[in-house]
Every structure is written in structure tokens, then in C-alpha cells.
Structure 1
Amino acid sequence: MVIKRHNKKPAPSIVSRSRLQSPTEEIANSAVHGFGLVAMVVATPLLIRRAAAVGDAVFVAGVWVFCASAIILYFSSSLYHALPAGREKRFFLALDYYAIFLLIAGTYTPFTLGVLRGAWGWSLFAVIWGLAAAGILLKMFAASDNPVRTALPYLLMGWVIVIAIKPLIEMVPLSGLILLLAGGLFYSFGVLFYAGLSWVPFGHAVWHLFVCAGTGCHAVAIYRYGV
């Protein structure tokens, strides 16, 4: 008697680990964030000049923080995906993870030091950078290769802004609020491709596109409504 074994692959789970990317996918991953890097390098002097024209030195410093954090993220991500397996690739992967925390906090910074300022601004500034530091330390010493557990702290940090929604509504025009919300939604929906749909071909590149769109919305919001 012969017993037949049916080795069916289970359907991908939302809590499954991210799969390895094919060489073609890695090219796409690197290219998308390479575009993001170039865009941020071009946008930085425009944002800084605008900040200097409409705000004080503290606000200008906040815009510098946003630009620097975005450039670090796109640089580390594009280089990580472009490198072959090895020590350098692992280094830039770690830097990429840390840079996400930096970009989230860096995106808050122009608003906390600009339009909010005062008690709300400085309190939110301290909270978000404290969370960024905690997230980086957690990633250093308790890293997880589960994409859902990796993405969750980023999402929680990104939506901390809701605690300051009342002063934001009072101080930021509707069009600015729409840009802030759109940026947050781009990042959040993109996480579906990072964590839940990582098995989809070129899903990680789609995640990168969402990240670029989110950064773009927030850069425009900072340019027009940061102070």
C-alpha cells in the first residue's frame, strides 16, 4: 500500500516572514528609493530657503532635520537593495530600519518647532524623539524578522499625531491637514505591501512607492504650512 503525501504550500500568512527578493525585484527596490533620494536632494535647498524666508532659526533647524532624515533613509535603503549579500548589505539593512524611526520623528519636527511650538509643540517633540530612540534601541537589541512586528512600532509612532489633532486643526488650514493625512495614509497602506503582502511580486517596490508618496505629501505640507 502506497501512502501519497500531498505537500501543498500554505497560503501566505500576514504574519509570515518577508521572503527573499529576486535580483530583478532588488533592482526595482533600489531604483524607486534612488529616485526618492534624488528628489529629496533636489527638494532640500527649496525647503530650507522657504523655511528661512517664513520662519525663525528654530523652524529652519526643524526643516533641516526632516530633510536629513529623509536623505539618510533613501540613501540607506537604495544602497541596501543594490548591494550583494554580505556584511555591507547587513549594515545598510540595519541603518535602513533605524532611519525609518528617524524619518518619522524628523517629519514631526518642523511642525512641532513651527506651527505648534509652545507646550504642545515641545511636548510632542520630546515624545516622538523619545519613541524614536526607544525604537532604535529595541531594534538593536531585540530585532525581529517578522514584518508585522517590525512595522507595528512605525505605525504607532506615525499616528501619535492624533493626540495633537485639536491644535493642528486650529493652526493648519484644511489643505495642509489633507496633505498630512494623505501622507500618513500612504505610509500606512504601504505597510500592507511591506508586511501583509510581501509575497506579491514587486510588492516591496510598491511599498517603496508608497513611502515616496508619503514623504512627498509631507514635504509639500512643510513647504506650505509648516509655520
Structure 2
Amino acid sequence: MDFKKTKYGRFMNKRVSSDKRYQPTEYEHAANCATHALWIIPSIVGSSLLYFLSDDQWETITAWIYGFGLSGLFTMSTVFHTVSWKKSHLRTVEQLFHMCDRIVIYYFIAASYAPWLNLRELGPWAWHMRWMVWILACVGTVYVFFFHERYKIVELISYTATAIFPALVILSMHDRDGLFELAVGGVFYSLGMVFFRSDGLIPFAHAIWHVFVAMGAGIHYYAIWRYLYTPETSQMKTSR
């Protein structure tokens, strides 16, 4: 561990026990802020594009839901990491934003599924999953409220279950367009989770996790834009 401190002192601090929160270095704090702040404006612009491409009220509502989830993720993450970096006597505020940062991930997952559950013809469970995915997000919120940072493995499993369970319905799509992009985006999220738990083992681990999240979100956004909101897709849906 001394070797790590000597070699990576500016870029990584000592790993902490599972019941404590890792304290990033100044460089890691800056990277954590930048890697998600960079995507706030693009996420807002991209969400607005979906809104203007909407052909009916249901598409408009879905664009708003997805847009709030996408931009909310990057915004809350940036706010939390900024407060964490610049804190002085703001321990309570930092803790609050950390909880919000964890909670918004659940709603981002639910919002990411909304376009597929609302706009694509799915199997018989689709209607139930439209509200069940939000119940999962609410359950995650309650968990964070009562058990924040206590059981990190349970937290990781909870995020994974929330992300995978609705996918079982998505696989029932009669129209398979977009399924490849959904799978690729899921792979990026899954690979990023390796870094999510690697603070103190890999320099800039959390910032790398942020990059994987941004890439996964970008691929999923492309699939939603390309297969659910483009004029060509709208014409195909109208002709059916």
C-alpha cells in the first residue's frame, strides 16, 4: 500500500473499509465533476430534440420523462461531486446530496425504460412493467433513505436488479430494431460497475465509471432517437 501511495499519491488515496466512504484526491474530485458536468447541456439538448420530434401527446410525455431522468442524472452527480470537493462545514449538505445522487440513479433507470415501455409494442407484461419499474425506483429510494452506505454490496445488487428486471419485458418486442443498441449500452453499464467499486485500487476509478455511464446513456439515447422518434419510424408506426 505504501508503494501505491508513493506512485499514485496525487491521483489516488488509500482504499478504505467497506463501512467508510472513499475520499478522492483533488485530481479525482476534478475528474468526477468534469466527467458528468460535460454531459448536462448535451442531455438537455438531446431531450429537447425528442420533445420536438414527438408526434402525439404520449410521445411528448415520454420525452419529458426520459429527459428529466437523463439530465437529472448528470446534473445531480455534478452537484454532489462539486459539493463534496469544495465542502468546508457542509457535511450534512454533502450527505444529503450524496443520498440524492444515489436515489436519482434508480429514477434514471426507470426513465430510460419509459420510451420502450410506452412507445413500443411489447408482450402482455408490458403494461404492468410501466408502473412496476417506478415502484422499483421508489423501493430503491426507501432503501437509500434508511440504509445509505451501510450495505454496499446490497446496494449494488439493488441497482443491478432494477436495471435487469424490466429488460425481460423489453425482450418481448415484436419489432427487434434497437435491441442491439440496448444490449451494447447495457454492456457499457456493466463494465463500468467494475470501476464503481474500485476506488483506492484504480486511480480515477469513479471518473472512469462516469465515462462508462455516459457512453451507455449515449448509446441508449441514440437507440431511442433512431428507432422511436425519427420521422421514418413515425411514418412506419402510422402505416401499421
Q: Is the 8 A contact 1:18 1:198 kept in 2?
A: no
Q: Percent identity?
A: 26
Q: Please list the CA deviations of residues 147-187 of structure 1 after superposition, one character each: whole Å capped at 9, or x if unmatched.
A: 4332221111111134225422x2232xx111111111111
Amino acid at match of 2:184: A
More off after superposition, 67-76 vs 109-118: 109-118
Q: Is the 8 A contact 2:70 2:108 kept in 1?
A: yes
More off after superposition, 70-79 vs 81-90: 81-90
Alignment match of 2:107 (pick from 71, 82, 102): 102
Hey, what does 1:35 align to over in structure 2? 38
What are the residue-to-residue correspondences of 1:73-112 with 2, within 5 Å?
73-83=73-83, 84-85=86-87, 86=90, 87-112=92-117
Alignment match of 2:188 (pick from 186, 189, 196): 186
Hey, what does 1:207 align to over in structure 2? 209
Q: Please list the CA deviations of residues 182-224 of structure 1 after superposition, one character each: whole Å capped at 9, or x if unmatched.
A: 11111111111012x2221100000000110111111111111
Hey, what does 2:131 align to over in structure 1? 126
How many residues align? The count is 213
Hey, what does 1:150 align to over in structure 2? 155
1:20–1:58 distance in 2 versus 1, CA, 3 Å: same
Alignment match of 1:221 (pick from 212, 220, 223): 223
Hey, what does 2:235 align to over in structure 1? none
Structure 1 length-normalised TM: 0.84
- Alpha-carbon deviation of 1:117? 6.0
Q: How large is the Cα RMSD of the aligned pairs?
A: 2.6
- Alpha-carbon deviation of 1:120? 3.2
Q: Is the 8 A contact 1:147 1:194 kept in 2?
A: no
Amino acid at match of 1:186: F
1:36–1:8 distance in 2 versus 1, CA, 3 Å: closer
Query: Could you tell me how far apart the structure 2 residues matched to 1:224 and 1:120 are?
Result: 24
Q: Is the 8 A contact 2:116 2:170 kept in 1?
A: no
Query: Could you tell me how far apart the structure 1 residues matched to 2:19 and 2:3 are?
Result: 16
Q: Is the 8 A contact 2:32 2:81 kept in 1?
A: yes
* Consecutive unaligned residues in structure 1, runs of 5 or more: 1-6
1:39–1:147 distance in 2 versus 1, CA, 3 Å: farther
Query: Could you tell me how far apart the structure 2 residues matched to 1:79 and 1:108 are?
Result: 25
Query: Could you tell me how far apart the structure 1 residues matched to 2:152 and 2:209 are?
Result: 12
* Consecutive unaligned residues in structure 2, runs of 5 or more: 5-13, 230-240
Q: Please list the CA deviations of residues 36-77 of structure 1 after superposition, one character each: whole Å capped at 9, or x if unmatched.
A: 212201212112122x13xx3112211211110111111111
Q: Is the 8 A contact 1:65 1:109 kept in 2?
A: yes
Query: Could you tell me how far apart the structure 2 residues matched to 1:206 and 1:138 are?
Result: 26
Q: Secondary structure at the match of 2:100?
A: helix
| Relative contact order higher in (CA < 8 Å, ≥ 6 apart) | 1
Amino acid at match of 1:144: E
Amino acid at match of 1:39: P
Structure 2 length-normalised TM: 0.80
Hey, what does 1:65 align to over in structure 2? 65
Amino acid at match of 1:160: F
Amino acid at match of 2:162: M
Q: Please list the CA deviations of residues 75-133 of structure 1 after superposition, one character each: whole Å capped at 9, or x if unmatched.
A: 11111111223233222211111100010000011111100367433211122111111
Q: Secondary structure at the match of 2:172?
A: helix
More off after superposition, 14-23 vs 98-107: 14-23
